[in-house]
Amino acid sequence: MPYVNIRVAGTLTKEQKQNMSKGVTEAIAKAANKPPESILIMIDELPHENIAKAGDLLQPPK
């Protein structure tokens, strides 16, 4: 069973998470030749202040 963990800065809408999950499921099913029912996806939404790039904390979009 493929497990996929997606981490994003900030939050996504339920619709965005649904669309992302469908696309990732389709890609994994095709590439790994696995049934979509066997693919588990977890989405972690992280505050921008918990992520740094090049030594600087990310800022929320304006």
User: How far, in Å, CA of 51 to CA of 14, rounded?
Assistant: 22
Sign of CA dihedral 14, 12, 8, 27: positive
Backbone angles phi, psi at 39, to 5 degrees: -100, 125
Mean pLDDT by 10 residues, the chain (62 residues): 96 98 98 97 96 94 85
pTM of the model: 0.84
What are the DSSP calls for 9-33, one per residue?
A: ES---HHHHHHHHHHHHHHHHHHHT
Predicted pLDDT of residue 61: 87
Domain ranges of the chain: 3-50
Backbone angles phi, psi at 18, to 5 degrees: -65, -45
Q: Which CATH superfamily is domain 3-50 in?
A: Macrophage Migration Inhibitory Factor (3.30.429.10)
